[in-house]
Structure 1
Amino acid sequence: MLRDLLYALAGRCPVHDRASAYTIAQLETELGIDPQAMATHQANARDIVDAYADPRLIDCGRRTCRNR
């Protein structure tokens, strides 16, 4: 309960502020750290959901997240 209160006070979202392998691979590709990061991530994923799970597409129900 305290954690939820702290997230609300900070304007953070526990769903969207979580690190995901998809987002990390996408950033590595965009920044040029590892140009093959997305391809490697998708090839090594356990299933199609892990390969293409983009947390920005998840609707957590919070109005502030929808407006971003």
Structure 2
Amino acid sequence: MAIPTEHLADKIAAALHADMPWMAAATETVWHAMRRSVREGDPGLRLPPLLPSTRQAKRSETENVCLI
């Protein structure tokens, strides 16, 4: 499905977020993908791979991470 304008992408993303606010990370990814598809003139919506999970990371699990 092609998204003809970034404005329509914004409206669709807002509706998705309003219907499923707990899926904010996923709807934001879809929103950016829709806008990118419009800008690049893709013939259809191109989504990156998504891995839905029922587990949400707690803030303490994601802060103070040291990568060596």
Determine if the TM-score, normalized by the shorter chain, exceeds 0.5: no
Higher relative contact order (CA 8 A, sep 6+): 2
TM-score where L is the length of structure 2: 0.29
